[in-house]
Amino acid sequence: MDAELVIGMTWLTGVSVPANLLPPGRSVMWTVGSVEKSTMRKYLPLILLLLFVLATVWQCLFWAGAASLPGIGSSVRRSAMREAPLVATYTFGGELLGKVAPALGDVGRSWAEVALRPAAERLEADPGVAMDFIFGESLNATQRTATRGVYLPPVLLLLALVAWLRRPRQVRMMGSRRR
């Protein structure tokens, strides 16, 4: 596994990082648990919620762009409806975003074209397995990033919920309430 991925996951979970995976010159790695008393802890749910929104918009734009590509778009859409309900949801949301802001739809379409161009012939030849092919075979870095990011918004939403439940709260004295 990549050392940066391990360090990033341990940063999010608060588990200590093995010494051989730390960057040179670093003896301590910051964790979410180590910032409990700081003001950042107060804003952590907001930061995670903002990342959730950005990741959701990113996925919506990509999958709506993939569904609007000439030649392979209809097979991607049908395969998503059949096999990948989360991708189908992103496609629907991205189409709404594309109607509101056409420039965003163009960005998603060009990004999807770069990611899925190597697979166009295979997807046209066998449209029934579009999701299996897109998620199974690594075509290029853009495609890998988009397919691995599909589950990022639900994970970020769950982390934001946990951070909100564990947020620091104001302490009130017993006599401060009026009855």
pLDDT value for 36: 47
Q: How do residues 9-49 score in pLDDT, each as one tens digit?
A: 666 666 666 666 666 666 555 555 554 456 777 889 999 99
In the predicted structure, residue 164 carries a pLDDT above the cut 80: yes
pLDDT value for 175: 63
Q: At which residue do the structure tokens 């040179």 appear? A: 24
pLDDT value for 138: 80
d(CA 93, CA 164): 26
pLDDT value for 47: 93
pLDDT higher for 129 or 153?
Answer: 153
Q: What is the pTM of this model?
A: 0.70
DSSP-derived 3-state class of residue 15: coil
Confidence of residue 162 (pLDDT cuts 50, 70, 90): very high
pLDDT value for 54: 96
What is the DSSP code string of 145-176? HHHHTTTHHHHHHHHHHHHHHT-------GGG
DSSP-derived 3-state class of residue 43: helix
